[in-house]
A and B are shown apart, each in its own frame.
Chain A
Amino acid sequence: DAKTTQPPSMDCAEGRAANLPCNHSTISGNEYVYWYRQIHSQGPQYIIHGLKNNETNEMASLIITEDRKSSTLILPHATLRDTAVYYCIVRVGYSGGSNYKLTFGKGTLLTVNP
């Protein structure tokens, strides 16, 4: 799986957009970008994933650069409850293979301030 680099911490004002960057310069053509978050030592929660197109769901948007070497997770209107560690993971998407393990790195601690 490709290595990812994330800033260790970021701050964001409540109500503003939070933009969390992730570098994955060694990503392969068949590897997806996944984002999870972990709120105060609870179990991680899936947010979103994408291959090359931008993706949006009810939680967030994922913007992947054209060369796919970096991506940004966007929380459009951050709330205090979005304070969490955000993990960017790159790996082959599930397609009927036999390896289902996910490896979590250090992630980015996002602190949303009032």
Chain B
Amino acid sequence: EADIYQTPRYLVIGTGKKITLECSQTMGHDKMYWYQQDPGMELHLIHYSYGVNSTEKGDLSSESTVSRIRTEHFPLTLESARPSHTSQYLCASSDPRGTGGNYGYTFGSGTRLTVV
């Protein structure tokens, strides 16, 4: 069963709308991440957080923003959605402690966003 939850699973929305993609985890992980993936393409890290009130931009520039007010919650927001934002957004958390070198990543099922 999943310990990291993303909602909604699918979202179709009009241009200019503000949207928030939700990501929550019940594992108490400090580290959380947002990846963006177009169909058939690589995953690209767009945001990450190493703890409450800590957020950083990832390797791929994104117009989205994130917040980390609670350990378990890492929402991603687009203030004004555009068709170029159409993609899949995957949330992950990690806890590498005591895992013998493993980064202990757990991914959510993703949100497939379509902006029309």
A residues sitting closer than 8 Å to B (CB atoms) are 32, 34, 36, 38, 41-46, 49, 51, 93-95, 98, 100-107
Contacts and interface: CB of A to CB of B under 8 A. Distances in A.
A95 B101 contact: yes
A43 B58 contact: no
A103 B33 CA distance: 12
A102 B103 contact: yes
Nearest to B44: A104
Interface stretch (B12-20, B69-77, B86-94): B86-94
B101 A94 contact: yes
B94 A100 contact: yes
B101 A43 contact: no
A110 B16 CA distance: 39
Given A43-B109, A45-B107, A100 B39 contact: no
Nearest to A46: B105
Contacts, number: 64
B59 to A, nearest CB: 7
Interface of B: 31, 33, 35, 37, 39, 42-43, 45, 48, 50, 58-59, 88, 90-92, 94, 96, 99-110, 112
B55 to A, nearest CB: 13
A104 B103 CA distance: 13
B43 A94 contact: no
Nearest to A42: B109
A43 B110 contact: yes
Given A49-B101, A101-B45, 10 more contacts: A32-B101, A38-B43, A43-B92, A43-B107, A46-B102, A94-B99, A94-B101, A95-B101, A102-B105, A105-B42
A43 B48 contact: no
A38 B42 CA distance: 11
Contact of B58 (A38, A51, A100, A101): A101
B98 to A, nearest CB: 10
Contacts of B109: 42-43
